[in-house]
Amino acid sequence: METVNPLKPAEPRDRKLSLHVVTWNVASAAPPLDLDHLLQLDKQDPNLDMYVIGLQEMNRGIMSLLSDTAFEDPWSSFFMNVLSPLSFVKGNKGGVNICLKFYGYYVSIINCHLPPHLANNDQRLEHFDWILEMQNFEGPDIPNILDHDLIIWFGDMNFRIEDFGLHFVREAVKSQCYSDLWEKDQLSIAKRYDTLLREFQEGPLLFPPTYKFDKNSNNYDTSEKKRKPAWTDRILWRLKRQPHTDSCTPRRPAPHLSLSLRSYMSHMMYTISDHKPVTGTFDLELKPLVSVPLISLMPEGLWTMENALLINYSFTPDFPSSPWDWIGLYKVGFRHINDYVSYVWVRDNQVSFNDGLNQVYINISDIPETEDQFLLCYYSNSLRSVVGISNPFKIQPQAFLEEDPLGEVQPQI
């Protein structure tokens, strides 16, 4: 028989998250009609919690820039058309480096495109170090990137295969003797002597080199340049190491965070680019360092189209609240943080607050009647991120009130 002390906080349970990482140099091409295989949506149960998608050489022409400003780029639009109905949401982060916090752990995601050509290997390595050294994040107490608990680094890294001639490389690829090429892969060579790069791990290269192909085919480069095939498109990761206890003990990963590679593969069926996309699927297991979310919020009482909606929310003592924080009302399946149906500034429409419990109201008189489910999201201006999401709920389209035998007014739906 197990007994539980209700006054003692429960120990946080281990969490397991599944991440699917995609890197693809799309060579200015438009999205194809079907990307289900790339996103593992052709599997009966993909069992994925997060997509991390990084593209290189997206079309940046005038029309594309106008589209990005007025709407969003066609690739982002395509991915979200597919993923938003499955409850995946594209956050408001931009650039090549994204910092996330999972249950108290810092996770950094880097998408890069390093210098090309066989002879520029030293320049690639310089860029690798420079990217790490130059990363700074705005926000309170965010550590240096090398102190993040996990770094996932991927992209068109442009590392090539040295020494071997074109004929040898192509024959090795044709016969699937990939191990003959590994020892001359520039990234593998650099990891032997570069101390920082050595800390990054990678899955085995058991798929054909992903560059360079004739577009709209699976043939390696037949142009006059006839570039050697190479594994230019890579996915690496690095777990933060514990400090040395003594000079004889090697550093080990943090005991409460682990990352295991489920699959690492290329996708030969996509031919729109001279690169093939590469995906890595990971299982991230961790013991939460925090068990209470920064923000907890929920609708209060029965929500109907006829009323202003009352929202209860609370936050932890260390939460950096701001007058510019706001709560948005969203339909389940929304694509972006700006896709709110309505919103409210938490300070302007505050009803009451005491002992960390706050109440605000939001006007929904202009919301059309719908059977859709909704969510509440709390956006922190200080953290530049959504820090709280409610459970799904429905807004009743109409409420009729009648008096029960005890004289109390009850809603009748």
- Report how far Cα 359 is from the mean position of its chain's Cα atoms: 31
Residue 4: pLDDT over 50: no
For residues 225 and 259, state if they share a domain: yes
- pLDDT, one tens digit per residue, over 234-292 is 999 999 976 554 555 555 555 589 999 999 999 999 999 999 999 999 999 999 988 78
Q: How confident is the model at residue 400 (pLDDT cuts 50, 70, 90)?
A: very low
Domain boundary pick from 286, 321, 346: 286
For residues 250 and 352, state if they share a domain: no
**Residue 21 pLDDT:** 98
- Look at residue 204 and tell me if it is in a domain: yes
- Other CB atoms within 10 Å distance of the CB of residue 94: 7
User: Which residue matches tokens 């290329």?
Assistant: 266
- pLDDT, one tens digit per residue, over 125-173 is 998 988 888 877 776 678 888 899 999 999 999 999 999 999 999 999 9
Between 12-16, 108-112, 172-176, the lowest mean confidence (pLDDT) is in 12-16
For residues 161 and 268, state if they share a domain: yes
The pLDDT of 379-383, averaged and rounded, is 90
Domain boundary pick from 262, 286, 310: 286
- Look at residue 407 and tell me if it is in a domain: no
- Look at residue 48 and tell me if it is in a domain: yes
Q: What is the CATH number of the domain that holds 381?
A: 2.60.40.2840
User: Which residue matches tokens 């006829």?
Assistant: 306
**Residue 12 pLDDT:** 60
For residues 261 and 370, state if they share a domain: no
- Look at residue 405 and tell me if it is in a domain: no
Q: What is the CATH number of the domain that holds 180?
A: 3.60.10.10
Share of the chain above pLDDT 90, in %: 50
For residues 183 and 86, state if they share a domain: yes
User: Which residue matches tokens 């990363």?
Assistant: 135
Q: How confident is the model at residue 317 (pLDDT cuts 50, 70, 90)?
A: confident
Domain boundary pick from 257, 286, 315: 286
Distance CA 228, CA 162 (A): 10
For residues 168 and 106, state if they share a domain: yes
- Higher local confidence (pLDDT), 299 or 283: 283
Identify the domain containing residue 367 by its residue range: 295-400
Residue 77: pLDDT over 80: yes
For the whole model, what pTM was predicted?
0.83
- Higher local confidence (pLDDT), 47 or 219: 219
Distance CA 44, CA 94 (A): 32
For residues 196 and 125, state if they share a domain: yes
For residues 37 and 68, state if they share a domain: yes
Q: How confident is the model at residue 106 (pLDDT cuts 50, 70, 90)?
A: very high
- Look at residue 238 and tell me if it is in a domain: yes
For residues 125 and 211, state if they share a domain: yes
For residues 267 and 317, state if they share a domain: no
For residues 22 and 129, state if they share a domain: yes
CB 179 within 8 A of CB 167: no
Provide the mean pLDDT of the chain: 84
Strand partners, 24: 55
- Higher local confidence (pLDDT), 72 or 44: 44
Domains in the chain, number:
2
The pLDDT of 198-208, averaged and rounded, is 96
**Residue 64 pLDDT:** 52
Q: How confident is the model at residue 94 (pLDDT cuts 50, 70, 90)?
A: very low
For residues 265 and 376, state if they share a domain: no
